[in-house]
Structure 1
């Protein structure tokens, strides 16, 4: 669809301003001929020679792809976007903001952190143009996660579906294993794989200062399945205690896999190796035949070794993390980043608006391995089959979707005691003690 929802006036302006656009975008930085169609960027012009600093957790190949996605925008508008990705983003962003060294824009994956910055007056409400763009391209649920007290502070950007289990189609075909359709079938499959002499699961939750977050995803998926989406909402909003019996039951169900020495940790060791195995490397043993299953989000497509084919008949693929009772529906856990500004200069607002557009969503999707809930994103531009499936799920109005709980909870819990508590739990602490500790840390 590209950016087909642009206002008619913008399309007219693009036509009558063709000569001006050619003059503005006729050459690239090296003096050569530009191939950019700058007509689509007219609403962002007028900021030539400015720069905008963006800070995020996006690194390595994802960083390269992100910067490639806005190259044409930079060429046509004259705005230089300077992106810094950091593995210590979650810990360092509050330090920078509180210390008066905030970036112009941050890609924040935790709505709870957005609330913190809005309450302190450090985050800036989006401009009218950004608000219009975001409201046109995202559902009310997504906008709610980026809002505080009805004011939009963060326009959605990338998204992900977390309720996936990665596996090797080749291994399954050779062994005669079938993709499970329920939680009980998943456990039976795990027993079958273990009896074959392979640790069925490989898991890793090490992530620098953010160590523990992949385990919170396990818990959240289980709360949605063992309890219900309604109980999940009550838990996230602290309308029920963090140590409610239904949450404890959900964590114990996750423990049937994660604390089972027969099941984990393929390619790395036993249960305690989970906390020291990086989440980036955790699924790799599937490609080596050392494990069979890895529960991780759609974005894990970026972590497979180079030349790994992701497809139903490829080296790796994924299936939906099955519901306990599929007849009661199939809930989906997901997350995403929000584009939050700490400065309100015109060029910053222009970048924020552009990043909420279908123009950027499709530009980034064409490069590969990226998902967004942006309604203007065409699935034809999403080559990776897992990403395409994720987009279809996100755009389906019937999907029972819930945002990652740890990202919505107050940051001191969701990105603090919850993360640390899950490390303690997988390393041997009991369910009650861990949940009691997290509950006691909830801000009064």
Structure 2
């Protein structure tokens, strides 16, 4: 999950709104074994768990291609959503595996005269690039009608460029969560922290019990940007966050120094990270999760930071969400805990009746409900029944996201030009990997971030 011009994204909601959502998460995610049957049956909206609530045309003989960077269970589950579209319309849909950054992959496809009909773009910045390059096509009236019925204004707006709708945010993420091995915490006598200082204390308690506190998937730089964004949003506040996201303040700003200094309290303690910095930089995101939940009460780490989508990897580790694997909101570094979201948007590259129908399908609660039931997925569609999610933890994460309405902050690196915020081995991803390796070089890291940001933003 990793963005666009921030001009096209709503910036509503302030510190108080973030506190409300963070408080809701804190209340709902702490204990997963209690008697809370009502929450599992609540609906976040008016959608049905089953039933055909969206009207689609007959498309017998039509063929479509959908490109996305999704792999493994995520890809397999999405294919089931596409299969239902095929069943309802008669069209044939082929999933095209894409490489990251997907905008470069699409460029090669366009140059070869074979762009997919729809691409799932993980950055608002990529949507704007696709529009600027005249690849993306505006969404039609049927898609927009579905969006207006099923999405908050904020989720509609981040799919717009110059006030025209181009993206359907099919998939969302709550990226302000820390997952932990319940057995490790029980053995150590550790408690779920609510503040950054309490997180450091909890980490020391876990370390003293003989388990390394944190697993970090540093081989993929986007995980490190997510760490930074949560610390920065909580410590510097939403107004500064918005300014930095738009590069209205420089990365040499004292607020960035403060956030990097805070991060160094974890990243700078090699015994706190599984394998130290070297090991973390060789660990990809899926492994960072699975190694936290394998090995009984002696896993490689007791905690791993990342979004709700980590549940797919937790399941692959044969751990049970809510029992073996529990979760707490990213702790407050400043006055309030952070609430950072991300997402993937369907964008039409080849305009046709079939492509518009598929975009309409992806904007519907019917499509999202299929993948919600399979787990490891979160939809911003407010008319997906909360009970469609397969476990209590995910039901509560989903409810908190929907209840937040427009009061969220979108992933900062996903709002940046892709050269800075979304390219492996370059820009923010690479610089934060270097910072993980040498967390004492705060000033040097700031200078590098600013130089690359200025080049990417053109200012």
TM-score (norm 1): 0.85
Contact 1:103 1:342 in 2 (8 A): yes
Pair 1:156 & 2:169 matched: yes
Q: 2:375 aligns with which of 361, 365, 368?
A: 368
- Residues in 2 aligned to 1:392 and 1:435: alpha-carbon distance in whole angstroms: 37
Q: Which has the larger radius of gyration?
A: 1
Residue 95 (structure 1) shift:
3.2
Contact 1:146 1:338 in 2 (8 A): yes
Contact 1:51 1:80 in 2 (8 A): yes
- Residues in 1 aligned to 2:91 and 2:113: alpha-carbon distance in whole angstroms: 23
Structure 1 unaligned segments of length 5 or more: list them.
7-35
Bigger mean CA offset, 118-127 vs 379-388 = 379-388
Residue 193 (structure 1) shift:
1.8
Contact 1:3 1:357 in 2 (8 A): no
Contact 1:2 1:362 in 2 (8 A): no
Q: 1:285 aligns with which of 263, 282, 291?
A: 291
- Residues in 2 aligned to 1:69 and 1:437: alpha-carbon distance in whole angstroms: 42
The equivalent of 2:64 in structure 1 is 52
**CA root-mean-square deviation:** 2.2
The equivalent of 1:421 in structure 2 is 431
- Residues in 1 aligned to 2:106 and 2:444: alpha-carbon distance in whole angstroms: 30
The equivalent of 1:259 in structure 2 is 268
- Residues in 2 aligned to 1:101 and 1:247: alpha-carbon distance in whole angstroms: 42
Contact 2:330 2:338 in 1 (8 A): no
Give 3-state SS (helix, strand or coil) of 1:437's partner. helix
Q: 1:303 aligns with which of 306, 313, 317?
A: 313
The equivalent of 1:13 in structure 2 is none
The equivalent of 1:172 in structure 2 is 185
Pair 1:344 & 2:345 matched: no
The equivalent of 1:222 in structure 2 is 231
- Residues in 2 aligned to 1:330 and 1:77: alpha-carbon distance in whole angstroms: 45
1:289-336 CA distance string (max 9 Å, x none): 221111111101111253734333x111211111124xx333311111
Bigger mean CA offset, 93-102 vs 74-83 = 93-102
The equivalent of 2:5 in structure 1 is none
Which of 1 and 2 has higher RCO (CA within 8 Å, sep 6+)?
Answer: 2
- Residues in 2 aligned to 1:397 and 1:217: alpha-carbon distance in whole angstroms: 20
Contact 1:181 1:322 in 2 (8 A): yes
- Residues in 1 aligned to 2:53 and 2:149: alpha-carbon distance in whole angstroms: 17
Structure 2 unaligned segments of length 5 or more: list them.
1-42
Change (3 A) 1:305 1:379: closer
Pair 1:243 & 2:256 matched: no
TM-score (norm 2): 0.83
Bigger mean CA offset, 432-441 vs 241-250 = 432-441
- Residues in 2 aligned to 1:50 and 1:399: alpha-carbon distance in whole angstroms: 37
1:339-375 CA distance string (max 9 Å, x none): 0110111100000011001111112212222111101
The equivalent of 2:446 in structure 1 is 435
1:257-303 CA distance string (max 9 Å, x none): 122112112xxx21222111111101223222221111111101111
- Residues in 1 aligned to 2:315 and 2:376: alpha-carbon distance in whole angstroms: 14
Bigger mean CA offset, 97-106 vs 401-410 = 97-106
The equivalent of 1:22 in structure 2 is none
1:113-151 CA distance string (max 9 Å, x none): 111111121111111111121122111211221111111
Contact 1:200 1:264 in 2 (8 A): yes
Residue 433 (structure 1) shift:
2.0
The equivalent of 2:153 in structure 1 is 140
- Residues in 2 aligned to 1:363 and 1:127: alpha-carbon distance in whole angstroms: 24
- Residues in 2 aligned to 1:200 and 1:399: alpha-carbon distance in whole angstroms: 34
Give 3-state SS (helix, strand or coil) of 2:280's partner. helix
Bigger mean CA offset, 76-85 vs 293-302 = 76-85
Give 3-state SS (helix, strand or coil) of 1:45's partner. coil
The equivalent of 1:74 in structure 2 is 86
